[in-house]
């Protein structure tokens, strides 16, 4: 799965991801409901139900001068948001109780559905839910709305230790791949092509962050190199390139998305909990 994160973040990102979906360069994306350009992205998604768009559950607001906060109409105190009502900028500052996390993720899913988006799955911005208590809240929200959710064996084993058992139809990702923040913009093409060359059998999800290196995105990300404007522009250029498409074919990579996976789940019967969850 070639998956684009951060739809709804800003106009530049919305434009790049919609173009990448329309061209087939990416085959899945997820929507940041609390962000300033959510409504623009949601309207586009409502008009294009053929594309695979999920909810990028968002609990962090990482840019210094471009902020967003909780969707749920609840007084979280300082556990989830700062004194200005914005999410904290780093996962290490997030201190909300798991039940508040469940409520916020649920509110984001409900708002997307209210404006006409039919989400295909649930995943996590900056992997904020990958910690004790929060994984269980994340799974609870996904199951409440009948959504497949992004999870790997490590997350699932932690949830099991907290009392949330694996279900028969859980889909466990074999490998979750994304360019490391220590890479330079010039390193990205080789990273992605070598990742495709070395990809192992199973359900692999390659996360990318398309955007355009324009005035809007530069104003938001400043001089930040990882996931900044130049980085996102390069992500867009690489995944839409002939070299990337050729590498997919040469390495016999079969593309799937969350809608494909959900359809495949409906054809499977007789599995014990956890048995062959990766086979889609």
Rounded to 5 degrees, φ, ψ at 178 are: -155, 155
pLDDT at res. 269: 35
The structure tokens listed for 138 are 């994340």
Q: Which residues are 177's β-sheet partners?
A: 206
Counting Cα atoms < 13 Å in the Cβ hemisphere of 89 gives 8
- For residue 270, being part of any structural domain is answered with no
Rounded to 5 degrees, φ, ψ at 196 are: -65, -40
- For residue 275, being part of any structural domain is answered with no
Q: How far apart are CA 249 and CA 23, in angstroms?
A: 16
Per the structure, how many domains does the chain have? 1
SS3 39: helix
DSSP secondary structure letter of residue 7 = E
Residue span of the structural domain in which 178 resides: 2-265
pLDDT at res. 279: 32
pLDDT at res. 271: 30
pLDDT at res. 280: 31
Q: How far apart are CA 256 and CA 33, in angstroms?
A: 24
- For residue 208, being part of any structural domain is answered with yes
- For residue 280, being part of any structural domain is answered with no
pLDDT at res. 76: 60
- For residue 228, being part of any structural domain is answered with yes
- For residue 80, being part of any structural domain is answered with yes
Checking DSSP bridges between strand 122-124 and strand 204-208, what pairing results, if any? Answer: unpaired
CATH number, domain containing residue 122: 3.20.20.370
- For residue 178, being part of any structural domain is answered with yes
- Residue by residue, pLDDT tens for the chain (280 residues) are 999 999 999 999 999 999 999 999 999 999 999 999 999 999 999 999 999 999 999 999 999 999 999 999 776 667 999 999 999 999 999 999 999 999 999 999 999 999 999 999 999 999 999 999 999 999 999 999 999 999 998 888 888 888 888 888 889 999 999 999 999 999 999 999 999 999 999 999 999 999 999 999 999 999 999 999 999 999 999 999 999 999 999 999 999 999 998 888 764 433 323 333 433 3
- For residue 63, being part of any structural domain is answered with yes
Cα angle 81, 9, 246; round to 5: 135
């Amino acid at each position: 799965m070639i998956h684009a994160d951060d739809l709804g973040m800003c106009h530049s990102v919305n434009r790049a991801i919609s173009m990448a979906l329309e061209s087939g360069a990416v085959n899945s994306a997820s929507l940041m409901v609390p962000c300033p350009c959510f409504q623009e992205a949601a309207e586009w998604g409502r008009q294009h139900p053929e594309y695979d768009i999920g909810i990028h559950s968002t609990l962090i607001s990482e840019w210094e001068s471009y902020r967003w906060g909780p969707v749920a109409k609840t007084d979280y105190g300082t556990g989830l948001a700062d004194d200005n009502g914005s999410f904290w900028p780093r996962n290490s500052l997030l201190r909300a109780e798991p039940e508040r996390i469940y409520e916020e993720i649920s509110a984001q899913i409900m708002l997307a559905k209210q404006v006409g988006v039919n989400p295909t799955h649930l995943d996590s911005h900056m992997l904020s839910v990958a910690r004790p208590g929060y994984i269980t809240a994340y799974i609870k929200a996904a199951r409440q709305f009948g959504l497949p959710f992004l999870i790997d064996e490590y997350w699932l084993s932690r949830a099991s230790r907290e009392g949330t058992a694996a279900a028969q139809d859980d889909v466990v990702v074999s490998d979750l791949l994304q360019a490391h923040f220590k890479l330079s913009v010039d390193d990205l093409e080789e990273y992605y092509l070598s990742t495709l060359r070395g990809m192992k059998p199973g359900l692999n999800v390659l996360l990318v962050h398309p955007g355009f290196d324009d005035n809007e995105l530069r104003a938001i990300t400043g001089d930040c190199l990882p996931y900044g404007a130049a980085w996102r522009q390069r992500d867009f250029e690489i995944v839409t390139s002939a070299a990337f498409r050729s590498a997919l074919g040469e390495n016999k990579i079969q593309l799937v998305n969350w809608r494909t996976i959900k359809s495949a789940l409906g054809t499977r019967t007789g599995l014990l909990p956890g048995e062959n969850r990766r086979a889609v």
